[in-house]
Amino acid sequence: MTDALNNATLPLRLALANKGFAAVREDPHLRTGLNVYRGPLTYKAVAESLGLPFSPIEQAAA
C-alpha cells in the first residue's frame, strides 16, 4: 500500500517541489485538495459545513 500511494502521489509532490504554488494554479487535482489559502477557505463544502465565508482559489490567490 505504501508503494502504491507513493507512486500515485509522486508526480503531484514533484510538481509542488519544482513549481511551488504555481503547481496548484495549474493542476485541477491540486486545486481540489486545497482547503485554505492564506486565511480564506477555498473549499466550498468545508466553508459551508463550518458556516464560514468561501473564497474561490482564483480570488484568494489574486
DSSP secondary structure string for all residues of 23-51? HHHH-HHHHHT--BSSSSB--HHHHHHHT
CA gap 15, 30 in Å, rounded: 10
Domain ranges within the chain, ordered by starting residue: 2-60
Q: How many residues does the chain have?
A: 62
Q: Helix (H, G, I), strand (E, B), or coil: what is residue 3?
A: helix
pLDDT digits (tens, 9 = 90+) for 39-59: 899 999 999 999 999 999 888
pLDDT digits (tens, 9 = 90+) for 8-32: 999 999 999 999 999 998 999 999 8
